[in-house]
C-alpha cells in the first residue's frame, strides 16, 4: 500500500498523526506529510482509518 498527503488540501488538523504517528508527521508549516511511501503492513489499518477520518480528504491511498 502506498500513501501520500496532498498539501494543497491538508488543513493541518493532525488526525492522521494522532492515528498513525509512525507514518504521518506534521511539518513546521502546519501540514502533514507521510514519512514513508510504502506503508508497512502493520500500519495499513491505521492509515486506512486516517484516510477515512481526514476532515479534508487529503490522504491518498493506492
Ligand atoms: S488528518 Fe488530513 S487534514 Fe489533518 S493533518 Fe492529516 S492529512 Fe492533513
| Model confidence at 25: pLDDT above 90 | yes
2-6, 20-24, 26-30, 46-50: least confident range: 26-30
Question: 12: Cβ below 6 Å to ligand 1?
Answer: yes
For residue 4, what are the CA distances in angstroms to 13, 43, 61?
A: 16, 14, 7
pLDDT value for 35: 97
Digit-coded pLDDT (tens) for 26-61:
999 999 999 998 999 999 999 999 999 999 999 999
Task: Tell me which residue has its CA closest to atom 6 in ligand 1.
Answer: 16
Listed in order, strand segments (DSSP E) in 1-62 are 3-5, 24-26, 32-34, 59-61
Distance, CA of 7 to chain centre: 11
Each domain of the chain, given as residue ranges in start order, spans 3-61
Question: 8: Cβ below 6 Å to ligand 1?
Answer: no
Architecture category of domain 3-61 in CATH: 2-Layer Sandwich (3.30)
pLDDT value for 10: 97
Question: 16: Cβ below 6 Å to ligand 1?
Answer: yes
> What's the full length of the chain, in residues?
62
Question: 59: Cβ below 6 Å to ligand 1?
Answer: yes
pLDDT value for 37: 87
Amino acid at each position: 500500500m502506498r500513501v501520500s498527503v496532498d498539501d494543497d488540501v491538508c488543513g493541518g488538523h493532525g488526525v492522521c498523526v494522532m492515528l498513525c504517528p509512525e507514518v504521518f508527521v506534521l511539518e513546521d508549516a502546519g501540514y502533514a506529510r507521510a514519512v514513508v511511501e510504502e506503508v508497512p503492513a502493520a500500519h495499513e489499518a491505521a492509515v486506512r482509518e486516517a484516510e477515512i477520518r481526514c476532515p479534508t480528504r487529503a490522504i491518498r491511498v493506492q
